């Protein structure tokens, strides 16, 4: 019995069964979930309705993540799955799905920040090497314009990884792209993860 997405298989809002007035149709078919995991890139192509192609990612370990407040995007390595609002099982199995909170390698973002502002995140202020007065002035102007970096974000760079959210659908597009968490959204997910951690320790 194949996977179907028709509506007459579902019960009514009152709980009653609906009559099955026809057999399954090809345009109602569904497919097994991709369950994309972290690992060396492994892809499958699926022919879909209209002769189009979907890229089904079975394993992925890299993605492009944007840093909204800085207006940049960098390809980065996905290290771990930290939180999923849908199901804790998806965290345990490290399954990559849309809206999953993941840890990504902070190195590409740290290198960009050092080049752009002359400040190395997550490390004590040391001599970064000599640069011209023009470059120093330019960097100071950028820092002044952008303002101080959020402490919750900068603290993550000490560990060499930052929290990000997956915005793409790896099982549909074959990509795992997203954005770095900042501000209230970051505080929300950190609180959720802390709550989950303390509950686990209590058990």
Residues 83-142: pLDDT tens digits? 999 999 999 999 999 999 999 999 999 999 888 888 788 665 554 566 676 666 566 665
Whole-angstrom distance, CA of residue 198 vs CA of residue 28: 44
Whole-angstrom distance, CA of residue 135 vs CA of residue 198: 47
Q: Would you mind telling me the total number of residues written for the chain in this entry?
A: 203
Q: Which bin fits 129, alpha (ψ -120 to 50), beta or left (φ > 0)?
A: left
Q: Dig out the tokens for 1 from the structure.
A: 């019995």
- Among the residue ranges 33-37, 61-65, 115-119, 148-152, the one predicted with the least confidence is 148-152
Closest of 78, 82, 70, 72 to residue 154, by C-alpha: 70
> Could you tell me the pTM of the whole model?
0.84
Whole-angstrom distance, CA of residue 9 vs CA of residue 68: 43
Q: Dig out the tokens for 65 from the structure.
A: 């993540």
- Which contiguous run of DSSP H or E holds residue 109? helix 107-117
Strand, coil or helix: 70? coil
How do residues 11-47 score in pLDDT, each as one tens digit? Answer: 999 999 999 999 999 999 999 999 999 999 999 999 9
Long-range contact set of residues 55-58: C-beta below 8 Å, sequence gap at least 24: 55/172, 55/173, 55/174, 55/175, 56/171, 56/172, 56/174, 57/96, 57/170, 57/171, 57/173, 57/174, 57/175, 57/176, 58/34
Asked if residue 36 lies in contact with residue 96, where contact means CB atoms within 8 angstroms, the answer is yes
Instruction: Please give the pLDDT value at position 201.
Output: 77
Whole-angstrom distance, CA of residue 12 vs CA of residue 47: 33
Whole-angstrom distance, CA of residue 165 vs CA of residue 181: 7
């Amino acid at each position: 019995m194949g996977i179907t997405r028709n509506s007459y298989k579902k019960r009514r809002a009152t709980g009653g069964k609906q009559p099955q007035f026809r057999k399954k149709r090809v345009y109602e078919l569904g497919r097994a979930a991709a369950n994309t995991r972290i690992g060396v890139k492994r892809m499958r192509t699926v022919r879909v309705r209209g002769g189009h192609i979907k890229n089904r990612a079975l394993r992925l370990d890299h993605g492009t993540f944007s840093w909204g407040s800085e207006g940049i995007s960098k390809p980065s390595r996905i290290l771990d799955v930290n939180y999923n609002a849908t199901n804790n099982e998806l965290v345990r199995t490290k399954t990559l799905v849309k809206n999953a909170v993941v840890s990504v390698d902070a190195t590409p973002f740290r290198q960009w920040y050092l080049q752009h502002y002359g400040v190395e995140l997550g490390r004590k202020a040391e001599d970064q090497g000599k640069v011209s007065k023009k470059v120093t002035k330019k960097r100071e102007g950028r820092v002044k314009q952008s303002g101080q970096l959020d402490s919750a974000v900068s603290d993550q760079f000490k560990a060499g990884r930052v929290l990000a959210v997956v915005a793409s659908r790896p099982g549909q597009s074959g990509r795992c792209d997203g954005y770095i968490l900042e501000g209230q959204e970051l505080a929300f997910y950190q609180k959720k993860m802390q709550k989950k951690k303390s509950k686990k320790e209590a058990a």
